[in-house]
A and B are shown apart, each in its own frame.
Chain A
């Protein structure tokens, strides 16, 4: 199993550009999520999904869109990038929803810089 994979590893965008961060997992996990990690802020939940076709907002959803058309994939879209979105983005998945007893499996991260 590859686990949770993220592409790209690094990305530089100009203000106003759009892009999609890709996330895929091959563990048939129901739950998937996106976090951003900023210095001194820890990880903050952006969006999450409890299954194909179901998404919901986390703590910091503004400026980001998600969709979940398959169990495996959970892309994160930045429609108009802003410097405040410079961060490291992590995708994570978990086998179950509603009872987070198993913790999450994290991808390696995408480092995004918006100039």
Chain B
């Protein structure tokens, strides 16, 4: 069965520091992988996606993610975090017409 694991429930980083959010997936075939961001009281916004090709994908707001098939991972990174990046981040895997989300990682940014 498809599943997504985000092992970090909450992460705190200083503004300007680098960020890596972890995502591991379980999937039987080539996965379609996504990262979404949710600001408080808002819906989810797509940050980036991977479905084939270059394993390093660039997204909006300066985020990138790397697909590593051998590790079943799709970690999200940002070189320098801004205070406005504080939000909840969700990793998801798509299967034809169904999507499976991780439980999310809450990011706090301290000045």
Chain A residues near B (Cβ < 8 Å): 4, 31, 33, 35, 40-45, 48, 50, 56, 58-59, 90, 92, 97-109
Q: Give chain B nearest CB distance to A9 CB in angstroms.
A: 9
Q: Which residues of A contact B103 (CB under 8 A)?
A: 40-42
Q: Which residues of A contact B9 (CB under 8 A)?
A: 40
Over the window 4-15 of chain B, the binary record of Cβ atoms lying under 8 Å from chain A Cβ atoms (1 yes, 0 no) is 100001000000
CA of A31 to CA of B94, assembled, Å? 13
- A42's contact among B43, B96, B98, B104, by CB below 8 Å, is which? B104
Contact B98 A90 (CB under 8 A): no
CA of A100 to CA of B2, assembled, Å? 15
- B94's contact among A42, A58, A100, by CB below 8 Å, is which? A100
Q: Give chain B nearest CB distance to A70 CB in angstroms.
A: 19
- A109's contact among B43, B96, B102, B104, by CB below 8 Å, is which? B43
Contact B43 A100 (CB under 8 A): no
Q: Which residues of B contact A105 (CB under 8 A)?
A: 46
Q: Give chain A nearest CB distance to B97 CB in angstroms.
A: 6
CA of A108 to CA of B43, assembled, Å? 4
11 of the cross-chain contacts (CB-CB < 8 Å) are A42-B4, A42-B101, A42-B104, A56-B97, A90-B43, A92-B43, A98-B97, A99-B32, A105-B46, A106-B45, A108-B42
In the A-B complex, the 10 residue pairs with the smallest Cβ-Cβ separation, listed nearest first, are: A100-B94, A106-B43, A103-B46, A43-B101, A42-B103, A42-B101, A106-B44, A101-B51, A108-B43, A100-B32
Contact A104 B101 (CB under 8 A): no
CA of A80 to CA of B100, assembled, Å? 27
Name B52's closest neighbour in chain A (CB-CB).
A101
Q: Which residues of A contact B67 (CB under 8 A)?
A: none
Q: Which of B78-111 contact A (CB under 8 A)?
A: 90, 92, 94-104
Contact B44 A90 (CB under 8 A): yes
